[in-house]
Structure 1
Amino acid sequence: MTTTIEIDVRMDCPAWIEALPDAEARCGRLAATALEAVELPDGVVELSIVLADDAIVQDLNRNWRGKNQPTNVLSFAALDDEDAPLVPGAPLMLGDVILAYETTAAEAKEQGKPFADHFSHLVVHGVLHLLGFDHEDEDEAVEMEALESTLMAALGIPDPYGEEDEGP
């Protein structure tokens, strides 16, 4: 048996298409790159990526994290729920990644990075969160950032944690 990856991309903000006409295809390639970082179980693995605006992300951030402000990327990992049933033969639901257009664009500009590069990093960063990677403490942050840097290099994108970057 093999692993089949299904990625649903939803476009809730038209500015994404204007900035990256191939945003949907990019999401698929970027998520697949991040998923290659771990050994996935046989069967179907699903996740969704929502390309939203700051207002949507701010609402989610306020309602789920108690922070009434937009952020660049939010990840809602289904595997964080230890009580969630894993049904044999059913798809493994990894969760959702939601990106905020205005925040992502502003950060890319502030950091002097191509928008596509910053977007790529945030998609990979969000998918790694779905896989259990985090940056809550120094050791976790070092591990996650090193993996992100390696994956970005494999994609031909400069290290996102160079001196000018403040990180996601």
Structure 2
Amino acid sequence: MIKLDYQNASTEQQIPSEKQCFDWLQQLLPEFQAISELTIRIVDEEESQALNHQYRGKEKPTNVLSFPSEVPAYITEEMEFPLLGDLVICAQVVNRESVEQNKTFDAHWAHMLLHGCLHLLGYDHIEDEEAQEMEALEIEILQKMGFPNPYNDQ
């Protein structure tokens, strides 16, 4: 079961619907946990840049920011806690990347959603070994969803 708080704060016309996001989440999250709660906030470049600066010290908008829930360990050890956290996705950056990388709209948005969710689940790509593990997982899950390898030609 997935509980999604979908927020559209973007002026961009081409963004996935709440239903599309929910359907993609239904295909990827149950592999990791039976019940998941998260927020997806779709924003414009100004908000993305402000958040990227505040939380990562970078002065530019970015495709997806992940904010995992901060639940004390003793709570998660005693019971299942479905709250994953929040994803902030910049519509203009993702749409521009899909064109620049010659990817379909759906394939790139699904990839960004998956990528952000994996961060919420504790995956990272700072170290080479972690990056290889995360990329392999992304490729496998996206292929199950009917999308091509997002790392081809990169």
TM-score, normalized by length of structure 2?
0.89
Could you list the runs of 5+ residues in structure 1 that have no partner in the other structure? none
**Which consecutive unaligned segments of at least 5 residues does structure 2 have?**
none
2:92 paired with 1:102: yes
* Coordinate RMSD, CA, aligned: 2.1
Answer yes or no: is 1:25 the counterpart of 2:19: yes
Specify the alignment match of 1:112 in structure 2: 102
Pairing partner for 1:34 from 12, 18, 28: 28
Residue aligning to 1:10: 7
* 1:86 pairs with one of 59, 70, 75: 75
Which amino acid is the alignment partner of residue 121 of structure 1? H
Rounded to whole Å, the distance in 1 between the matches of 2:123 and 2:27 is 15
- Looking at structure 1, the residues matched to 145 and 20 of structure 2 have their Cα atoms a distance apart, in angstroms, of 11
Match of residue 57, structure 1, among 45, 48, 57: 48
> Are 1:46 and 1:91, in contact at CA under 8 Å, matched by a contact in 2?
no
> CA shift at 1:32, angstroms?
2.5
Cross-structure match for 2:126 = 136
Distance in 2, Cα, partners of 1:37 & 1:134: 18
Deviation at 1:75, TM superposition (A): 0.4
CA distance in 2, matches of 1:142, 1:37: 19
Q: Deviation digits for residues 56-90 of structure 1, max 9, x if unmatched?
A: 11111101111111010000011xx4646638678
- Give percent identity, aligned residues only: 35
Q: Which amino acid aligns with 2:95?
A: A
For residue 28 of structure 2, what is the amino acid of its counterpart? Answer: A
Q: Which structure 2 residues correspond to residues 68-79 of structure 1 after superposition, within 5 A? A: 68-78=59-69
Q: Which has the higher mean CA deviation after the structures are superposed, 153-162 or 44-53?
A: 44-53
Distance 1:153 1:23, change over 3 A: same
Question: Which residue is equivalent to 1:126?
Answer: 116
Partners of 1:134 and 1:37 in 2: CA distance: 18
SS state at 1:86 partner: helix
Q: C-alpha distance in 2, partners of 1:14/1:139?
A: 38
Q: State the distance in 1 between where 2:8 and 2:140 align.
A: 28
Aligned residues between the structures = 153
CA 1:12/1:117 → structure 2, altered by over 3 Å: closer, same or farther?
same
